[in-house]
A and B are shown apart, each in its own frame.
Chain A
Amino acid sequence: MNSQLANYRESDWFGPLLITVAAIVIVSVFNPEFLSPYNLQILLLAIAVNALIALSQMMIIAIGQMNLSVGAIGGLAAISFGGMMEVWLIPWPVAALLALGIGLFAGIANGVLVAWTGISAFVITLASLSIFKGINLGITEAQPFYKIPEIVKLLGNETFLGPLPWLILPTVVVAVGLWYLLSFLPLGRFILAVGGNAHSAELSGISVAKTVVAAHAISGLLAAMAGIMLVGRLQLGQPTIGDDWLILSFAAPVIGGAVLTGGKVSVAGTLLGVTIVVIINQVLVLFNIDPFLVQVVLGGLILWAVGVNRWREVRAQKTEKRLAA
Chain B
Amino acid sequence: MSDVVFQTKGLCKRFPGVMALDDVAMDLKKGSIHALLGENGAGKSTLIKIVTGIHKPDGGTLFLDGAPLVLHGPRDAIAKGIGVVHQERNLIPRFSISENMFLEKLDSHPLKRIDYQELHRQARHWLEMLGLDADPAIPVEKLSVARMQLVEIAKALALKSHVLLLDEPTASLTPHETDNLFAVLNRLRDDGVSMIFVSHKLEEVQEICDRVTVLRDGKNACESQPMEGLGRQDIVKLMIGRSEQIPNWQARDRTGNPPVLELKNITTAIGHRAVDLSVHKGEIVGLYGLVGAGRTELAKSILGKYLVTAGEVLVDQHIAAISNVADAVGRYKIGYVSEDRKTEGLVLMHSVLENVGMTVWQRLAKGVAFLTNRAIRTQTLPFINKLEVKAPSLDQLVGNLSGGNQQKVSVAKWLAAGVKILIVDEPSVGIDIKTKTYLHELIRELSDEGTAILLITSDMPEMITLADRIVVMNDYRVMGELANCREYSAMSQGIMNLIHEAVEVDMSPVQATP
Interface residues of B in 448-476 (CB under 8 A from A): none
Using Cβ atoms and an 8 Å threshold, which residues of chain B touch A199? 90
Q: Is the CB of A205 within 8 A of B107?
A: yes
With A186-B112, A192-B94, A200-B90 known as contacts, the answer to whether A205 contacts B104 (CB < 8 A) is: yes
Q: Which residue of B lies closest to A194 (CB)?
A: B92
A241 at the interface (CB under 8 A from B): no
In the complex, identify which listed stretch (B136-144, B179-187, B415-423) lies at the interface while the others stay far away: B136-144
- Give A193 Cβ to nearest chain B Cβ, in Å: 5
Q: Is the CB of B137 within 8 A of A5?
A: yes
Q: Is the CB of A203 within 8 A of B110?
A: no
A189 at the interface (CB under 8 A from B): yes
Q: Is the CB of B114 within 8 A of A201?
A: no
Q: Contact size class for A?
A: 20 to 34
Interface residues of A in 216-250 (CB under 8 A from B): none
With A185-B113, A186-B114 known as contacts, the answer to whether A206 contacts B144 (CB < 8 A) is: no
Using Cβ atoms and an 8 Å threshold, which residues of chain A touch B135? 1, 4
Using Cβ atoms and an 8 Å threshold, which residues of chain A touch B138? 4
Interface residues of A in 165-222 (CB under 8 A from B): 184-187, 189-190, 192-193, 196-197, 199-206
Q: Which of A202, A204, A323 gathers the greatest number of chain B CB atoms within 10 Å?
A: A204
With A185-B110, A186-B111 known as contacts, the answer to whether A203 contacts B91 (CB < 8 A) is: no
Q: Is the CB of A200 within 8 A of B104?
A: no
Q: Which residue of B lies closest to A323 (CB)?
A: B144
- Give B157 Cβ to nearest chain A Cβ, in Å: 15
Interface residues of B in 76-96 (CB under 8 A from A): 78-79, 90-95
Q: Is the CB of B92 within 8 A of A193?
A: yes
Using Cβ atoms and an 8 Å threshold, which residues of chain B touch A324? 144-145, 174
With A5-B137, A192-B95, A197-B91 known as contacts, the answer to whether A205 contacts B75 (CB < 8 A) is: yes
How far apart sit A193 and B95, CA to CA, in the bound complex (Å)? 8
Using Cβ atoms and an 8 Å threshold, which residues of chain A touch B137? 1, 4-5
Using Cβ atoms and an 8 Å threshold, which residues of chain A touch B90? 197, 199-200, 203
How far apart sit A190 and B110, CA to CA, in the bound complex (Å)? 9
B106 at the interface (CB under 8 A from A): yes
Contact of B92 among A5, A201, A316, A323 (CB under 8 A): A201
Q: Which residue of B lies closest to A204 (CB)?
A: B103
B99 at the interface (CB under 8 A from A): yes
A287 at the interface (CB under 8 A from B): no
Contact of A206 among B103, B109, B145, B174 (CB under 8 A): B103
With A1-B137, A184-B113, A189-B99 known as contacts, the answer to whether A263 contacts B92 (CB < 8 A) is: yes
Contact of A196 among B93, B144, B174 (CB under 8 A): B93
Q: Is the CB of B74 within 8 A of A187?
A: no
What per-residue 1/0 map shows which CB atoms of A65-83 lie under 8 Å from chain B? 0000000000000000000
Using Cβ atoms and an 8 Å threshold, which residues of chain B touch A264? 94
Q: Is the CB of A185 within 8 A of B112?
A: yes
Contact of A189 among B114, B139, B144 (CB under 8 A): B114
How far apart sit A184 and B114, CA to CA, in the bound complex (Å)? 5
Contact of B91 among A185, A186, A200, A202 (CB under 8 A): A200
What per-residue 1/0 map shows which CB atoms of A1-12 lie under 8 Å from chain B? 100110010000
Task: Name B's interface SS.
Answer: loop
Q: Is the CB of A206 within 8 A of B104?
A: yes
What per-residue 1/0 map shows which CB atoms of A260-288 lie under 8 Å from chain B? 00011000000000000000000000000
Contact of B106 among A186, A202, A203 (CB under 8 A): A186
- Give B43 Cβ to nearest chain A Cβ, in Å: 24
What per-residue 1/0 map shows which CB atoms of A120-141 lie under 8 Å from chain B? 0000000000000000000000
How far apart sit A323 and B173, CA to CA, in the bound complex (Å)? 12
Using Cβ atoms and an 8 Å threshold, which residues of chain A touch B91? 197, 200
- Give A35 Cβ to nearest chain B Cβ, in Å: 37
Q: Is the CB of A187 within 8 A of B104?
A: no
- Give A190 Cβ to nearest chain B Cβ, in Å: 7
Using Cβ atoms and an 8 Å threshold, which residues of chain B touch A184? 113-114
- Give A148 Cβ to nearest chain B Cβ, in Å: 35
Q: Which of A1, A193, A200, A324 gathers the greatest number of chain B CB atoms within 10 Å?
A: A200
Q: Is the CB of A202 within 8 A of B75?
A: yes
Contact of A185 among B94, B111, B139 (CB under 8 A): B111
- Give B384 Cβ to nearest chain A Cβ, in Å: 34
How far apart sit A264 and B94, CA to CA, in the bound complex (Å)? 8
Q: Is the CB of B110 within 8 A of A186?
A: yes
- Give B164 Cβ to nearest chain A Cβ, in Å: 15
Q: Which residue of B lies closest to A316 (CB)?
A: B141
Kindly list the 7 A-B residue pairs having the minimum CB-CB distance in the complex, ordered from nearest.
A205-B104, A186-B106, A204-B103, A196-B92, A187-B110, A200-B90, A204-B104
- Chain B residues close to A by CB (< 8 Å): 74-75, 78-79, 90-95, 99-100, 103-104, 106-107, 109-114, 135, 137-139, 141, 144-145, 174
- 4 new A-B contacts, CB < 8 A, other than A199-B90, A263-B94, are A185-B111, A193-B95, A197-B93, A205-B78
- 19 of the cross-chain contacts (CB-CB < 8 Å) are A5-B137, A8-B139, A184-B114, A185-B114, A186-B109, A187-B111, A192-B92, A193-B92, A196-B92, A196-B93, A197-B92, A201-B92, A202-B75, A205-B107, A206-B107, A263-B94, A316-B141, A323-B144, A324-B144
